[in-house]
Each structure stands twice: as structure tokens, then as C-alpha cells.
Structure 1
Amino acid sequence: MSILMPQGHPESYYLATAKGLVAHPALRGDETADVCIVGAGYTGLSAALHLAERGYSVAVLEAERVGWGASGRNGGQLGTTHRKDQQTLEEMLGREWAHRLWSLAIDGLATVKNLIADHKIDCELKPGILHAAWKEREAPEMRAEVEHMAREYGVTTLRYVPRDEIHEMVATTRYHGGILDLGAAHLHPLNYCLGLARAAAAKGVRIFENSRVLDIARTDPARVATAKGSVTARHVVIACNGYLGKLEPRIAGRIMPVNNFILATEPLGEAAARALIRDDVGVQDTKFVIDYYRLSADHRLLFGGGENYSGRLPRDLAAFVRKPMLRVFPQLKDVQIDYAWSGTLAITMPRIPDFGRLAPNVFYAQGYSGQGINIATLAGKLLAEAVAGQAERFDWMADIKVPIFPGGTLLRYPGLLAGVLWYTLKDRLP
């Protein structure tokens, strides 16, 4: 491997502050492996690392660069939960299943923290996420959620924050209360992803960049083909998430790629930054199209807001995200925006991840619906367990039937857009 200058990745604050960015070769010719993984984001790299630790030979094929997708461009918030809260999961799936999913979420959170510690990944891990109530009626619901989690799950890391206190914690009058989750955290997402890649490579994983997969043969062993080579493997893991495209039509309709947008302000100085977010926690609100933000190590505000559902991005990303930022922090109207970028995540209809098998030797996981750092890292671990023949925990997820979007890939965009417009209107109502 050779040192890579910041090229090949979309411009972002994360790229400008990346640590240990290296170039991996493109696939040339034919390779063999026990497992071939498609995608070098959190899912693929976590699976590769966990498989290598079990003694499997692993080849990872990445269409662009390690962390090129949302794994290197997201909001950096390491949540505790799945996208749905536990009470909702209890209603959807039953109490026993919801408790299983909670145990997985906790394991995912611990896995991320342990990987960072064990492999000395320098990714600015900081504790705490504050979930902020956008509407007044949501505050008592949050208080009830804290009480429910303490009573039913023994959770002691959640604390209800009343309206007066949340205004002391965050310099805005927008919120009516919140939940402080001290078990959650936030981090530099690209540096975390690059750290996973280094750890995997150190265990013998072969990573090939600029090696877009064109076909996965439905054979055993499978042959995974790129334009200039192939990998023949006993097992295949598809870890593309929002960048799946047309590679595997059997699962493409179960997810909707969604573009999210983030900006980074100029450095504000430590005092001014802490005046915005007193305790340096990550913050996310309860709107349907959520705002999420945090402070960087060099005291910038990193603010995510707005999304769209087509391949076309807003012409001026900075202006697009500046609008929701100023709704929360109007005092930043004169602050310069140094970076603005986008990333593509994938959602499912029920906002529950989609795990499964396409054949006895082909596994996939996708559709993390905004909880990618925790759940995608967990997915990689569960995929490794399933490949190794220990699929009980993988099947807890795979047995949840995630439906195809109405109309499949052809009509999912108009249907979702209509729903989003409705919920966006509700966000604006009292």
C-alpha cells in the first residue's frame, strides 16, 4: 500500500482531516478467497475483520475508495438504539423480539467502542447524544420512554432533560425537552472507517479499491466479477447499502437510497463552540427529516439537515443546509461555511434493517435508516457469525420481514416523496 493524497473521495471536512488515508490496488486477474465482500464501508469492513479473526481468507471489493460512501460522510453520531424506539418495536414485533433487538443494539455499541480501543483508531470518540423534542407534546413521551427503558430494560444511561435545562445545554429555544443518552457517542466517521480498514488489512484481508462488481454468479462457489478480474469464493457478503444500484435486483426494492447533507462552519473557537453545545454532546431532534449536529475537534459546528430522494443534488449544498441550521441557531447568520457535502444512506419501509440470504452462500445486510455506525458495524459481526455457521443472532434480524417499497425500484420515489411532504408539513405545525 502507498500513501494516498486526498483524491478519489468527495470533498468534505472529514476528508480534509482524514488520518491514515492509504491506496489499495484495483483487482487485476483472478483471486480466490473463503469470503468475498462487496463494499468497503462499515458493514463490509466489520465483516472482513471479524471473519479474518476467525481464520477466514477474505477479499473486499470496493467500487470507489474505502469509506467513499456514507461511512465516510455521515453525521458521526453513534446511537444506542435501532431506528425505532423499543416501545415501538415491542408493538411491532412483541416483547421477546424487542428485547433481542435491544441486546443486539447494545452489543453493536460495545463492538464499535471495543474496536476503536483494541485497534487504537484515532477517530475523536466523545460521549453523549442529546435527543431533542421538536414539539411540545413529544416531551412527556420522552419522559415516559426514559422510565420505560429503566423499568423494562434496566437502562441507567438515559436521563430526561426538561425544557429549562435543555436550553442551558443547547443555545436555542427550539426544543421542549429531551433525552440525554450518555451511553451513546459521536466520532469522526471517515477516520473510524479507515481504522477498520487498517485493522482488517493487518489481519490479512485483501482490499481492492476501484473494483466495481458487475456480476455475482449464482453458483457455489460463487464467482464475483469486476471489469478486470474476479474473486472465486465459498461465501459472498453484499454490503453496499445505499450504493447497491442494480447489482442485485432481488433486494434493491427493499431499500430507498436517501441523500443527506452536512456542512461545517469555520472554526468558532472553543468558547463560542461550547456556548452552542455546552457539554460537547451530539444532538439530534425528533423531526421526520431530522437535524443532527455536533462540534468538531477544532471547534466547528458540523450540522446535518435536509434530504432528497433523487440522483440530483441541490445546486448550492451550503445554502441548502444553512437554512435548517439558522432555524436552530439564528445567531450563526454571519458565520462562514467552509465545507458542505452529501452522502447516501438507505432506509426501509419499517425503518428496520434488512438482513438475509439470497442463497446458502450469499448473505447481505442493508437499510440501517440513519443508524449506520452502530448497526452496520453490528451487521458485519453478525454476517461473520452467519458465514461461520453460527446464525442464531443473524436470524433474529433476518426473520423480520422487510417489505419491498410499493412499485419496487420504479415507483418507490414518488410514493416516498408524497409521504415525506406530508410529514414535513407536520413538522412545521404546532
Structure 2
Amino acid sequence: MSYQSPISPGRSWYEDTAGPRPEYPSLDGDRTCDVVIIGGGFTGLSAATHLAKAGVDVVLIEAHRFGDGASGRNGGQLGSGQRAGPEEMEKEYGFTRAKALFDLAEEAKAHLLEFASTNGIEIDFRPGHMNVTHKKRELSDFVDYADAAERFGYPHIRIMDRAETAQKVGSDHYVGGVYDSGTGHIHPLKLVVGTARVAREAGAQLFENTRATAITTNGGKVVVTTPTGTVTAQKGFVALNAYGGDLEPTSAAHIMPIGSFIGATVDLGADSPVLSGGESVSDSRFVVRYFRRVKSGELLFGGREIYAVNDPKDIHIHIRRQISEIYPHLKDVEITHGWGGYVGITLPRKPFVREVMPNVISAGGYSGHGVMLSNFVGKLYAETVAGNRDRLKLIEDLKIPPFPGGRRWRAPLLFLALNWYALRDRL
């Protein structure tokens, strides 16, 4: 039987196309090191890589396999700037700070592509992205977004009218949007596998199938407990995002996991009008739909709905229905893969980075914008360990309130809110 993630439903298209996926040992016994990292996704593996390359003795533990969480199962879209648009960030933080955050995110994008190229990681990058809307009243928001991007010195955004949008998307479902030629999309699991390889080669000690059951500070030391041993370090980094559970309460209060589901179709063929230019798409719904054509011709289509998924085959039904709303001619298209996972969000949809206990920093809540940001936050954490916290502080100082309702009520409240917004999306 082929391997499937024990924490997320369905086997992904990425798992069947990523190539060899090396296994790493479980922790056996006690270890000491300079830095202990909990979480083997983009953030943790990036931090481990940069720390190890700087000569830091680092131990990373992951409860399952590297890539079982959102880093190996997401939509693969990079985006531009922060998750919140430049016009929104400027309104809240003023031009200077908003521009610094935008530039930081753009550096994150460039770093990801350079890191992959330098280290021989084939991530199947395809350029081009479109943000689109099915509501005429939202077109002015795109104009505001494009104007702000120009003020921020980002020249790659332009407005698309209805005709161009229909031609590029391959559907007349949308009334317009913006085209971003300065970004694109990747194969995320290939990046996970490659980053783990680079981290190991740099000297990081990597352990899979090793769950952290507690993290404490004792006499100035950080102690992480697992069922098979402890790791004692000078510093700790919690990089669990949506999969933190109750391990660390401050992160849990600020980062909420929500379900995200994707389906992959058969190859649509070279003559298909669907995204014939190879760009990725996200729409303006609050419950975002995001989709792209990969190099081999398949359509990968995601919708951030919280379905009651009792069987991975249920995902196929929901995804096919959403595809057919945009592409009616694909109402009977074969769905070869249907999978899901959890994305970590914060209330204002901005990343959460905090020192949650002495010498322990936690990071997550990328809110669907984590492919480039999470990798870069790992690098910024390594910079912090080396003594330069200035750039990480740009993110640490963002205003991220906790979710209302506490641990008991926040999930039901979010479920009601998402369903309300899903209803609004249809109006």
C-alpha cells in the first residue's frame, strides 16, 4: 500500500509526482544542541538549513513525515507582498512600515526561487498569477490594489478587463481581475523534500515520526519532551502552524486550523482553453477558490471550505462541483486525486511570530500565503539566532489578537463565520 498522511485525508497528486521521498529516523534517546525546532514543514526545515549552514548545532523533530502537513499539500501559489494587500497594510500601518513589510515579502519570493536554483531543487516553477472576481462591485478594489502596488515600486501588476480575463482563465465566469507577472506557482512537496536534503547535508539532525509532547524552560534551557527521549537546547523554535494543538497555548490562541481541500484532474490536453498560459488563479471570494494548470496538463483546483469529509472520495464530489461552476464543460471531468489538510490562519490574516516563553519563538498563521513567507520566516529566525532580530521584528510587531471564544468556542464561531461568508460569496 502506498503511503498516505495519517493527519490529512486523501493521497495528493504531489505525493505521486514528487519522486523519491527519503525517510528520516525517529529520535531515540536524549539529545543536547544549540537550537531545537519543532515542526518539519517549510518554516522549520528552512530554519534548520540556515542554522546548520551557519555552524549552529540544530535538532529538528517532526511528528509525522516531512510534508504531511500544509507545506507538502498546499496550492503551490506564491503570491506577492503580504497576505493583506498593500492598500490595506498602508491604511493600517502607514506607507513606510507597509512598504517595508511588502519589500520583505518580495525578498522572500526571490529568496525561495534562488534557494531552489542554488541547491538544485526542481520545484516546477511556472510564472504568472491572476486575482479575479465574479462581482462587478469588486472591480474598484482591484484598481486600488494595482495603484498601491505601483506606489510600493512593484511594476508587475496590471488590470484585466472582462474579455482578457475570460481569454486567460478560459471561462466567462469572472468579470475582471489583475494580472501579476512577477510571481507564479510551484510543486510544494518537491520543495519540502529538497529543503530537508539540504538541511541534512548542512549538518542538521532531522527526525521524523517524533512527536513533541511538552516544551518547557528549565534553568535557562529549553527542554522538548517526546515519547522516545528529550532534546535540551539553548533556544527553541515552534514551527507547527496549523498542527500545534495544545502544545503551546499562546500560539494555539492566535492560530486557527481550517480545512482546505484540493482535487487534481486528468491532463486536460494541449488544446484546452483552461489556463492555456499556465498561470495560477485565486478569486475574490472570502472562501477562496484557487486553481492552476501544472506542467503536465492537469488542473489542480482548491476550495477552502470546511467539509465533513468522512471519505477522501467525498472531496472529489465537492471539488468537481466547484470546477463545473467555472468550467461547465468539465462537469464530468475525471478527478484522479482528492486530498485535504489544514491551513493556519490568524484573525487579521497576517502571520503570527512571538516569543512565547523565554528563548522560545513560535511562528505560523500564514493564512494561505505561506509558500514563500514561511520559508523566509525560517531564514529570519536563523538571522535572529545569529544576533540580528530587526527583520523578524517587522513581523513580530504586527497586531494579531487572539481568536474570540477561547479553545472551546472559537472553532464553532469560526465555522459559523465561514459559512456566513460562503453564503455572501454566492450573492
Give the TM-score taking structure 2 as reference length.
0.95
Which residue does the alignment assign to 2:298? 300
**Kept after mapping to 2: 8 A contact 1:70/1:345:** yes
**In structure 2, C-alpha distance between the alignment counterparts of 1:171 and 1:7, rounded to whole Å:** 35
In the alignment of these two chains, the number of paired residues is 422
**How far is 1:123 from its partner?**
1.6
Which residue does the alignment assign to 1:94? 94
Deviation per CA, 1:290-325, whole angstroms, max 9, x where unpaired? 111111222111000142188977771110111111
Which residue does the alignment assign to 2:350? 352
Which residue does the alignment assign to 1:25? 25
Secondary structure at the aligned position of 1:68 is classed as coil
Deviation per CA, 1:393-427, whole angstroms, max 9, x where unpaired? 11111112311111122111122122222222221
**In structure 2, C-alpha distance between the alignment counterparts of 1:306 and 1:112, rounded to whole Å:** 25
1:178 aligns with 2:172: no
Name which of 269, 273, 287 aligns with 2:285.
287
Deviation per CA, 1:92-151, whole angstroms, max 9, x where unpaired? 22222211211111111111111111111112011111111221122232123212321x
Which residue does the alignment assign to 1:187? 186
Which residue does the alignment assign to 1:266? 266
1:415 aligns with 2:416: no
**In structure 2, C-alpha distance between the alignment counterparts of 1:344 and 1:155, rounded to whole Å:** 31
How has the CA–CA distance of structure 1 residues 409 and 47 changed in structure 2, closer, same or farther, with 3 Å as cutoff? same
**Kept after mapping to 1: 8 A contact 2:46/2:195:** yes
Q: Could you list the runs of 5+ residues in structure 2 that have no partner in the other structure? A: none
Which residue does the alignment assign to 2:323? 325
**In structure 2, C-alpha distance between the alignment counterparts of 1:119 and 1:326, rounded to whole Å:** 40
**In structure 2, C-alpha distance between the alignment counterparts of 1:404 and 1:312, rounded to whole Å:** 30
**Kept after mapping to 2: 8 A contact 1:214/1:225:** yes
**In structure 1, C-alpha distance between the alignment counterparts of 2:367 and 2:287, rounded to whole Å:** 12
Deviation per CA, 1:183-232, whole angstroms, max 9, x where unpaired? 11101111111111111111011110000001112222211111001111
Which residue does the alignment assign to 1:84? 84
* Deviating more after overlay: 408-417 vs 189-198: 408-417
The AA in structure 1 aligned to 2:295 is A
Which residue does the alignment assign to 2:118? 118
* Deviating more after overlay: 87-96 vs 178-187: 87-96
**Kept after mapping to 1: 8 A contact 2:260/2:304:** yes
Secondary structure at the aligned position of 2:363 is classed as strand
Which residue does the alignment assign to 2:63? 63
**Kept after mapping to 1: 8 A contact 2:351/2:367:** yes
**In structure 2, C-alpha distance between the alignment counterparts of 1:217 and 1:133, rounded to whole Å:** 47
Note the 1:85-234 alignment, pairs <5 A: 85-150=85-150, 152-219=151-218, 220-234=220-234
User: Which 4+ residue blocks in structure 1 deviate beyond 3 angstroms?
Assistant: 309-315
Which residue does the alignment assign to 2:388? 390
**Kept after mapping to 2: 8 A contact 1:224/1:232:** yes
Give the TM-score taking structure 1 as reference length.
0.95
How has the CA–CA distance of structure 1 residues 92 and 314 changed in structure 2, closer, same or farther, with 3 Å as cutoff? farther
**Kept after mapping to 2: 8 A contact 1:306/1:324:** no
Q: Could you list the runs of 5+ residues in structure 1 that have no partner in the other structure? A: none
